[in-house]
Amino acid sequence: MTDALPPTPVLGSLHALQVPIPYPMKTVTVLIDAPAHGPVTMIDTALDTPEARAAIEDGLGALGLHWSDVDRAIITHHHPDHYGLAGVVEERSGAAVHMLDVEIGRGERYWHLWEEWLPGHLKHMRDHGLPKGSLAEMGADNRRGRDRVHPATRVQPLREGQHVQLADRAWEVLWLPGHADGHLGLWNEESSVLIAGDAILPRISPNVGLYAYTRPDPLGDYLQTLGKLEALNPRRAVVGHHGPVMEGVQARARELRDHHHERLDFIKAEAGREPRSAYALSLAMFPRDLNTSGRRFALAETLAHAEHLRLLGQLYRTWDDASEVWTYHA
Ligand SMILES: [Zn+2]
Ligand SMILES: [Zn+2]
């Protein structure tokens, strides 16, 4: 047994586990729904570590279940801390794994076509100024992350607007892009509960990054998602980290929008003052000491802001032959 907290009741037969992950957020939320009649569902699966496997086993055990009882898994998005054990669930139980249609290709490229995908990813970061030393470290870092993911082999698509049955209620499938292109949410209007994954978080701003394989304007996507969440105004949201449940989603969505608008103003002013690469801009936006993965997130986040401004016609970018990087300028 681990010293994991007992499952938190969320709504009817739906329970939340706080599963340990070796990231600063410390835990990720895994949901288990075990209705008296109907399929046993797991929502998100945590990272593939011995600690996470043990915590999920304990959580299932507390609900009188084993891996083999899981009939289906629904994954909010392809990031390793949510998708890591998807393949294990599939193998141990024969469960069908479901993701939003938009996200399936992202997961596939990221976890199955790893070797094909990595060079493009590194080139994208290099073209935006990430120094050589950090690039090499980043490749190694990415490989470590890859080792903690056991990908699913057959993923079934869910579509926006479709309904799934959980806790004896119908939940509408939402598309909440920004943090991930095909980020899924599940919404039950009658109880005003949203299963939000990382689309909104209470204590940290969900990373919104532009990578080689993402949609062209993740920040634009995310600002629309925040508008959607504000209009939905759920009474409670089950969140991926620092949860399992948060209230005040509408106020938090407004706060996050203000935060991104402040960052947009900052980037516009900085690039206007002196043309610079996205990496140089990221050093100005995140001046504190960060490790390699922190700097990569900072670069991708800065780039999402700079590209959003460029697509709005408020900034321009030019290839600089001398330094071989894109520079952003007014
Ligand atoms: Zn995530
Ligand atoms: Zn996460």
> What total of structural domains would you count in the chain?
1
117: CA distance to ligand 1 center in Å?
19
Question: In this structure, is residue 312 part of a structural domain?
Answer: no
pLDDT tens column, 121-135: 899 999 999 998 888
Question: In this structure, is residue 202 part of a structural domain?
Answer: yes
pTM (2 d.p.): 0.95
Identify the band that residue 77 occupies on the pLDDT scale cut at 50, 70 and 90: very high
Asked if the model's pLDDT at residue 1 lies above 80, the reply is: no
> What is the residue range of 241's domain?
8-125+144-258
pLDDT tens column, 125-165: 999 999 988 888 877 777 777 888 898 988 999 999 999 99
Identify the band that residue 106 occupies on the pLDDT scale cut at 50, 70 and 90: confident
Token representation of residue 144: 């470590």
321: CA distance to ligand 2 center in Å?
38
264: CA distance to ligand 1 center in Å?
22
Identify the band that residue 3 occupies on the pLDDT scale cut at 50, 70 and 90: low
Identify the band that residue 2 occupies on the pLDDT scale cut at 50, 70 and 90: low
Residue type, 249: V
Question: Of 181, 206, 296, 218, nearest to 25 (Cα)?
Answer: 206
pLDDT tens column, 17-59: 999 999 889 999 999 999 998 899 999 999 999 999 999 999 9
7: CA distance to ligand 2 center in Å?
19
Task: Name the helix (H) or strand (E) containing 170.
Answer: strand 169-175
81: CA distance to ligand 1 center in Å?
7
Q: Name residue 16's beta-bridge partners.
A: 8, 31
CATH no. for residue 81?
3.60.15.10
Question: In this structure, is residue 276 part of a structural domain?
Answer: no
Report the DSSP pairing between strands 169-175 and 41-43.
unpaired
Would you state the pLDDT for residue 135? 84
CA angle at 96 for the pair 17 and 50, rounded to the nearest 5°? 40
Question: In this structure, is residue 318 part of a structural domain?
Answer: no
115: CA distance to ligand 1 center in Å?
22
67: CA distance to ligand 1 center in Å?
24
- Do 189 and 172 contact (CB within 8 A), yes or no? yes
Give the number of whichever ligand sits closest to the CA of residue 23.
2
Question: In this structure, is residue 92 part of a structural domain?
Answer: yes
Would you state the pLDDT for residue 115? 77
Q: Which residues surround ligand 2, an ion (CB under 5 A)?
A: 81, 198, 240
Percent of the chain with pLDDT over 90: 81
Question: In this structure, is residue 280 part of a structural domain?
Answer: no
What single DSSP character describes residue 207?
P
Would you state the pLDDT for residue 4? 66
DSSP per residue over 100-149, as a string? EHHHHHHHHHHHTSHHHHHHHHHHHHHHTT--HHHHHHHHHHHHHHHHT-
Question: Of 286, 297, 31, 320, nearest to 179 (Cα)?
Answer: 297
Question: In this structure, is residue 14 part of a structural domain?
Answer: yes
Question: Of 309, 301, 304, 260, nearest to 283 (Cα)?
Answer: 301
28: CA distance to ligand 2 center in Å?
7
Token representation of residue 33: 């729904």
Identify the band that residue 105 occupies on the pLDDT scale cut at 50, 70 and 90: confident
Question: In this structure, is residue 270 part of a structural domain?
Answer: no
136 vs 86: which has the higher pLDDT: 86
Residue with tokens 């700079």, as numbered in its chain:
306
Asked if the model's pLDDT at residue 275 lies above 60, the reply is: yes
